[in-house]
Amino acid sequence: MKNPLWLIVPAAGQGRRMAAAKPKQYLALGEKPIMRHTLERLHAAFPEAHLVLCLDPDDQWFDPGWVPFSRWQRVDGGSERMDSVMQALAAIPAEPEDLVMVHDVARPCVSVADLGLLLSHMQMHPAGALLAMPVADTMKRADDSGASGATEPRDGLWHALTPQGFRFELLCRALDQARANQLMVTDEASAVEALGQYPRLVSGRRDNLKVTHPDDLALANAILAAQQRNS
């Protein structure tokens, strides 16, 4: 790989929508916590990468033994995803053209093949790239009462997934400007888009599930079991 690769995994969230006794990244899938599955999947694709793990300063559940990377560091996460990513970027000695991938800790099912595909697109496209998938369902817009107010055309619409990857200097500049302009960005690509840059959408597998709600745990377990059978 021409440029070093840094992997940023924000894992400071509390996962309140799970209504669990601990943050969702520490809930079990099979015999392992979600975080461990996620880190092992990233390591299978990029064993030589530098991992930056963003954790709550008061985290009491994390076990360093779950980290398979030889080069990694822990940084304090912030109250929002963007805060965690910015603190991770500030903590690493990266060069402007180094590659940075940001991946949700709650996406343990991402495939190694998709990770490799994303990296190849990141290397080719100056504006970066992100895993995504075309919208397949009919899209409804609710009115103020919660009723179906309109059906939205789905042509050209994609679900943004992670990882999302960019060159270090571009990502730093995009997030700095987003904060300065008080933009509400929910992913890194939206901050880059606000600069007038256009990251490449890389079609990823639909089983790259984000564990968010309680019933997602059973689905993630089923996906991991199916992936293991088919590997």
State the pairing for strand pair 72-76/99-102. Answer: unpaired
Question: Does residue 2 surpass a pLDDT of 80?
Answer: no
| Percent of all residues in the chain with a pLDDT value above 90, rounded to a whole number | 90
Question: Does residue 15 surpass a pLDDT of 70?
Answer: no
Tokens read off for 208: 């790259």
Residue of 161, 191, 15, 159 lying closest to 89 (CA atoms) = 191
pLDDT of residue 184: 86
Question: Does residue 19 surpass a pLDDT of 70?
Answer: no
Residue of 57, 41, 55, 146 lying closest to 101 (CA atoms) = 41
Question: Does residue 16 surpass a pLDDT of 80?
Answer: no
174-189: pLDDT as tens digits: 999 999 999 989 999 9
pLDDT of residue 197: 96
Contacts of 73 (CB under 8 A, 6+ apart): 50, 51, 52, 53, 91, 92
- C-alpha 99/C-alpha 3 separation (Å) is 6
- The residue type of 77 is G
State the pairing for strand pair 200-203/99-102. Answer: unpaired
Contacts of 67 (CB under 8 A, 6+ apart): 39, 51, 53
Which segments within the chain are labelled E, that is strand?
Answer: 5-11, 28-29, 32-33, 50-55, 72-76, 99-102, 129-134, 139-142, 148-152, 158-167, 200-203
Please state the domain extents for the chain. Answer: 5-230
Quickly list DSSP for 61-121: S--GGG---SSEEEEE--SSHHHHHHHHHHHS---TT-EEEE--TT-TT--HHHHHHHHHH
As a whole number, mean pLDDT of residues 185-194 equals 96
- Tell me the pLDDT band of 1, cut-offs 50, 70 and 90: low
Average pLDDT, the chain: 95
129-138: pLDDT as tens digits: 999 999 999 9
Q: Residue 135 belongs to what H/E stretch? A: none
Domain at 5-230, CATH class: alpha beta
pLDDT of residue 226: 96
As a whole number, mean pLDDT of residues 29-41 equals 96
* Strand, coil or helix: 170: helix
54-100: pLDDT as tens digits: 999 999 999 999 999 999 999 999 989 999 999 999 999 999 999 99
Q: Residue 42 belongs to what H/E stretch? A: helix 34-45
